[in-house]
Amino acid sequence: MEPKEIKQNINCFYIPEIESQFIQLPEEESKHAVKALRLQPGDQLLLSNGNGKLAISTIVSNDYKKTIVEVNKTIETSPLPYKLHIAMSPLQHSDRFEWFIEKAVELGIEQITPLLCHRTEKKHINLERMNKICISALKQSRQSYLPKINSLQKIDDFIKTETNTNKAIARCEGERVNIKNWITSSKSTSYTILIGPEGDFTEKEWELAQQYNFTPIFLGSNVLRSETAAIFVAAAFRYEFIY
């Protein structure tokens, strides 16, 4: 939850190192502050290091290449009361997968792993772009923790090496546990969820997941797109643990 002393209309910037009283914003962030937001000396802004620290700061010099800010107050924030890792197949249309990343960051997530499944149509991802989207969503939603975007992994390898004891796979059919019941009965704070590609997992992938103790979960009677299912999962955890 965001500390009460942070103003609602304050703009947030991602700065991995918040250690000094005076901090120079990177050129890209400086340009955004000065040219896009038209911030002036004396205006306040919020810095996030993506690792739990926020800093309420004031602009000292608004040079569009090297804006200088003074840190007025640092705040150490607590992480969410749960850790959610969603492993999901990239989608044929990149914008839909990018939309999922953006919304998952806003809702609160610890890790995202793109999965290469048998029915995955898009075989490559631009990890640098995914991280930029992640940072942008962090700033927009003023998060203090930056999720980790992992490199693309083959689903068989991921299933066999995932060590989380609370892990589930979303399925469109068969016997499944309601996601709400699964969350409340697991008595844990760390979870891994598999979301399949368009066309769902193959029977072989499904059987392998069962073999490695992934619980089949039910997300409702409607047929959801992959990205919608992933956002549903992120929202379900947010609701169960926060509200």
Specify if 38 maps to a domain.
Answer: yes
Same-domain pairing of 69 and 93: no
pLDDT at 222: 83
State whether 120 and 62 are in the same domain. no
Domain assignment present for residue 2? The answer is no
- Which value, to the nearest 10 degrees, does the dihedral of the CA atoms of residues 46, 49, 54, 60 take? -40
Is the pLDDT at 1 greater than 60? The verdict is no
* Residue at which a domain ends, from 41, 76, 111: 76
Mean pLDDT of 139-167: 95
pLDDT of 81 over the 80 cut: yes
Kindly state whether residue 5 falls inside one of the protein's structural domains. Answer: no
> Do 115 and 69 fall into the same domain?
no
Q: Taking residues 43-72, what's their average pLDDT?
A: 94
Neighbour-count burial of 51, counting CB atoms closer than 10 A to its CB (0-12 exposed, 13-18 middle, 19+ buried): middle
- Mean pLDDT for the chain overall: 91
Together in a domain, 132 and 180:
yes
Strand partners, 149: 112
pTM over 0.85: yes
Domain that holds residue 230: 83-242
Q: Are 84 and 58 in contact, with CB atoms under 8 Å apart?
A: no
Q: What is the CATH number of the domain that holds 96?
A: 3.40.1280.10
Q: Is 165 among the domain residues?
A: yes
Residue 87 falls within a domain, yes or no? yes
Last residue within a domain, chosen from 31, 61, 76: 76
Domain assignment present for 144 = yes
191, part of any domain: yes
Q: What's the pLDDT score for residue 135?
A: 96
Return the closest-CA partner of residue 173 out of 212, 214, 221, 207: 221
Which residue among 25, 55, 76 closes a domain? 76
Predicted pLDDT at 198 = 85
CA distances from 200 to 40, 121, 166, 206 (A): 51, 12, 21, 9
Residues 88 and 188 in one domain: yes
* Count: domains in the chain: 2
Q: How confident is the model at residue 174 (pLDDT cuts 50, 70, 90)?
A: confident
- Are residue 62 and residue 106 in the same domain, yes or no? no
Which stretches within 77-216 are classed as H helix?
94-107, 127-141, 155-161, 179-186, 203-211
Give the residue-averaged pLDDT of 216-228: 88
At 31 the pLDDT is 93
